[in-house]
C-alpha cells in the first residue's frame, strides 16, 4: 500500500487544506495524474501522483486542513487487492482541534470589581528599597531627595538612620568599644572617605574660601592597591565592633627574659607569646576561628592559621603561620622569625600569605598604647596589640606599685562573633598571658 501524504509545497508551509478530490476511491491512477487540489497559504495547487495504482481510500475529506506529512490517501499498486482492515478511519469534518472559532464563543462572564484606588507610587532607588527591607525600615517615613523627583536614595536611607540614632540614647550594642571613640587605622591607610555618603562634601568645597589642594600624584604600587581594596572591602562589608582588654604583662615579660637569657640566639618575642596565647584561646573558643561565607553560612576551620601583620617599606603584608594549635611556643617563634624576615625582604610566596583564620597586629614596639585593626577577610577577628607600659596601681594593702599593662583590642565581625563570645575569648587570652607558664607546654 502506498501512502499519499500532505506535501510540503514551500519553505514556510506547515499545513494544507484539501480543496477537492479530483480522483475518487476506486479510480485508476497513472503517474503524474492530479489526485487532488490543495490550498496552501500561498496558492491552490494540484497534487500529482508519484506512483501508479488505484486510489484505495481517501482519509481526509474536502475542506479539512491537516499538517504537512499527514497521510491523506492510500493507493494500492495495480494487480493487488486492497485489504479491508488496518486502515484508519477517515478524519471527520467539523469541529476537531482546539483552534476552531467556537472555542472562543464560550468565554465565561468575568466579575467586575470596583475600580482600584491608584496611589502615587513611592519613588525609591532599587538599593534604597533593598536596604529598607533588610533593616525593616518604613519607606514612607523616609524623605526622598534624589533625581530631582524626590526619589529615596541610599543617601536618604543613611541620613534617616543617622537621625534615628542621634534622636535616641546611644545605641545599646554591647559590643561598642568602651575606650575608643573612633577606631584609628592600623598600618594600612584609612579607607577613602568617599566610600561614605558625602552630602556635605560638595557644597563645602564649592565655597569660595576653600583651601587649595595642590599636590603631586604618584602611581601606587600593586601592593598599595591591594591594601586599599581589601581594607575598603573589609570596612564596607564587615560589621566591625571592638573590645579592649588590659593585660598585666609583668610575669610574661619576666618569663621571656628568663627564656631568652638561656638561648639568646633564639629570642622569643612578646608577639610570639601572644600568638601562642591566641592559638590556645582559639582552641578553647573555636567559634572565633570562622568565616562568614558569601553563601551566608559560617565555616569553622579545623586548623588555626594565624596571620602576623608585618609593616614593610612597601606596605603591609600578613604572612600566615599555619596550624598554630599544634605548635609549641618555640616552633611558633622560629617560624614567625623566618616569615617576618621573608616579608621584609619581599620574598613571601602567595601560599605563605594565604589561608589565615585569625590575625595579630602589634604596634606596641612603636609606643602605640592601643588601636583597633581592620579585619583581614575572610577572617572573623583580629587582635591589635599595644605597648606594655608601666602603670601605677593601688594595691589591696593600700600601697601602690607599678605594673606593666598592655592593652589588646579585638576587632570582631558581628555576623559571626557576638560581644559575649569575643569577651570570653579575650578573657582567655588575658588569663593565658597573665599565667604564661601554661604556654610553655
The distance of closest approach from Cβ of residue 64 to another protein in the complex, given in angstroms and rounded to an integer, is 17
**Between 212 and 302, whose beta carbon lies closer to another protein?**
212
Q: Which residues contact 175 (CB under 8 A, 6 or more apart)?
A: 241, 242, 243, 412, 414, 418, 419, 422
b/e code 304-317 from CB counts within 10 Å (16+ = b): bbbbbbbbeeebbb
Q: Bridge partners of 44?
A: 39
Other Cβ atoms within 10 Å of 80 Cβ, number: 11
Cell numbers of 176, please? 561598642
Whether residue 418 lies in the annotated active site: yes
The distance of closest approach from Cβ of residue 7 to another protein in the complex, given in angstroms and rounded to an integer, is 4
**Whole-number Å distance between alpha carbons of 64 and 46:** 16
**Between 66 and 270, whose beta carbon lies closer to another protein?**
66
**Between 55 and 131, whose beta carbon lies closer to another protein?**
131
The distance of closest approach from Cβ of residue 131 to another protein in the complex, given in angstroms and rounded to an integer, is 10
The distance of closest approach from Cβ of residue 52 to another protein in the complex, given in angstroms and rounded to an integer, is 16
**Whole-number Å distance between alpha carbons of 254 and 115:** 85
The distance of closest approach from Cβ of residue 202 to another protein in the complex, given in angstroms and rounded to an integer, is 5
- In degrees and rounded to multiples of 5, residue 131 shows phi and psi of -60, -45
Residues that bind another protein (CB under 8 A): 5-11, 42-43, 45, 50, 67-69, 125-130, 146-148, 151, 153-155, 192, 194-195, 198, 201-202, 204-206, 213, 225, 228-229, 232, 236
**Between 123 and 414, whose beta carbon lies closer to another protein?**
123
Other Cβ atoms within 10 Å of 56 Cβ, number: 20
* Residue 115, CA distances (Å) to 12, 110, 112, 118 in order: 46, 14, 9, 9
**Between 69 and 346, whose beta carbon lies closer to another protein?**
69
Q: Do 182 and 409 touch, CB atoms closer than 8 A?
A: no
* Residue 11, CA distances (Å) to 15, 16, 45, 48, 286 in order: 11, 13, 15, 19, 71
CA dihedral sign, ordered 33, 37, 39, 44: positive
The distance of closest approach from Cβ of residue 212 to another protein in the complex, given in angstroms and rounded to an integer, is 10
Cell numbers of 104, please? 472562543
The distance of closest approach from Cβ of residue 159 to another protein in the complex, given in angstroms and rounded to an integer, is 13
**Whole-number Å distance between alpha carbons of 350 and 318:** 11
Q: Do 315 and 188 touch, CB atoms closer than 8 A?
A: yes
CA dihedral sign, ordered 320, 322, 326, 327: negative
Q: What is the CA radius of gyration of the chain?
A: 42
**Between 67 and 94, whose beta carbon lies closer to another protein?**
67
**Between 129 and 431, whose beta carbon lies closer to another protein?**
129
What positions carry a catalytic annotation?
A: 414, 418
Amino acid at each position: 500500500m502506498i501512502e499519499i501524504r500532505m506535501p510540503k509545497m514551500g519553505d514556510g508551509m506547515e499545513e494544507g487544506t484539501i480543496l477537492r478530490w479530483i480522483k475518487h476511491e476506486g479510480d485508476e491512477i497513472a503517474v503524474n495524474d492530479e489526485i487532488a487540489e490543495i490550498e496552501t497559504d500561498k496558492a491552490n495547487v494540484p497534487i500529482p501522483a508519484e506512483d501508479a495504482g488505484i486510489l484505495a481510500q481517501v482519509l481526509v475529506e474536502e475542506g479539512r486542513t491537516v499538517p504537512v506529512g499527514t497521510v491523506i490517501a492510500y493507493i494500492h499498486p495495480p494487480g493487488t487487492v486492497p485489504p479491508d482492515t488496518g486502515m484508519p478511519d477517515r478524519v471527520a469534518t467539523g469541529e476537531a482541534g482546539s483552534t476552531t472559532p467556537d472555542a472562543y464563543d464560550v468565554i465565561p462572564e468575568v466579575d467586575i470589581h470596583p475600580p482600584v484606588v491608584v496611589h502615587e507610587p513611592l519613588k525609591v532607588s532599587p538599593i534604597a528599597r533593598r536596604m529598607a527591607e533588610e533593616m525593616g525600615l518604613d519607606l514612607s517615613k523616609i524623605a526622598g531627595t534624589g533625581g530631582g523627583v524626590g526619589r529615596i536614595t541610599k543617601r536618604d536611607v543613611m541620613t534617616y538612620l543617622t537621625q534615628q540614632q542621634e534622636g535616641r540614647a546611644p545605641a545599646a550594642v554591647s559590643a561598642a568599644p568602651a575606650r575608643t571613640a573612633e577606631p584609628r587605622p592600623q598600618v594600612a591607610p584609612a579607607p577613602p572617605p568617599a566610600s561614605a555618603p558625602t552630602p556635605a562634601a560638595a557644597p563645602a568645597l564649592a565655597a569660595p574660601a576653600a583651601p587649595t589642594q595642590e599636590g603631586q600624584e604618584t602611581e601606587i604600587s600593586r601592593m598599595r592597591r591591594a591594601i586599599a581594596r581589601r581594607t575598603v572591602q573589609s570596612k564596607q562589608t564587615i560589621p566591625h565592633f571592638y573590645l579592649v582588654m588590659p593585660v598585666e604583662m609583668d610575669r610574661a615579660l619576666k618569663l621571656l627574659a628568663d627564656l631568652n637569657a638561656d638561648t639568646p640566639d633564639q629570642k622569643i618575642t612578646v608577639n610570639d607569646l601572644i600568638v601562642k596565647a591566641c592559638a590556645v584561646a582559639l582552641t578553647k573558643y573555636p567559634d572565633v576561628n570562622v568565616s562568614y561565607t558569601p553563601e551566608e553560612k559560617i565555616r569553622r576551620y579545623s586548623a588555626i592559621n594565624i596571620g602576623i601583620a608585618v609593616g614593610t617599606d612597601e606596605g603591609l603584608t600578613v604572612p600566615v603561620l599555619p596550624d598554630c594549635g599544634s605548635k609549641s611556643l618555640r616552633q611558633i617563634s622560629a617560624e614567625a622569625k623566618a616569615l617576618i624576615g621573608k616579608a621584609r625582604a619581599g620574598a613571601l610566596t602567595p601560599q605563605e600569605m594565604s589561608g589565615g583564620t585569625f590575625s595579630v597586629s602589634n604596634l606596641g614596639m612603636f609606643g602605640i598604647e592601643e588601636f583597633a585593626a581592620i579585619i583581614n577577610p575572610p577572617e572573623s577577628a583580629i587582635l591589635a596589640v599595644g605597648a606594655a607600659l608601666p602603670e601605677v596601681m593601688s594595691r589591696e594593702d593600700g600601697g601602690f606599685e607599678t605594673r606593666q599593662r598592655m592593652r589588646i583590642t579585638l576587632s570582631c565581625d558581628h555576623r559571626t562573633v557576638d560581644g559575649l563570645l569575643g569577651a570570653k575569648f579575650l578573657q582567655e587570652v588575658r588569663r593565658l598571658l597573665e599565667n604564661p607558664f601554661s604556654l610553655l607546654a
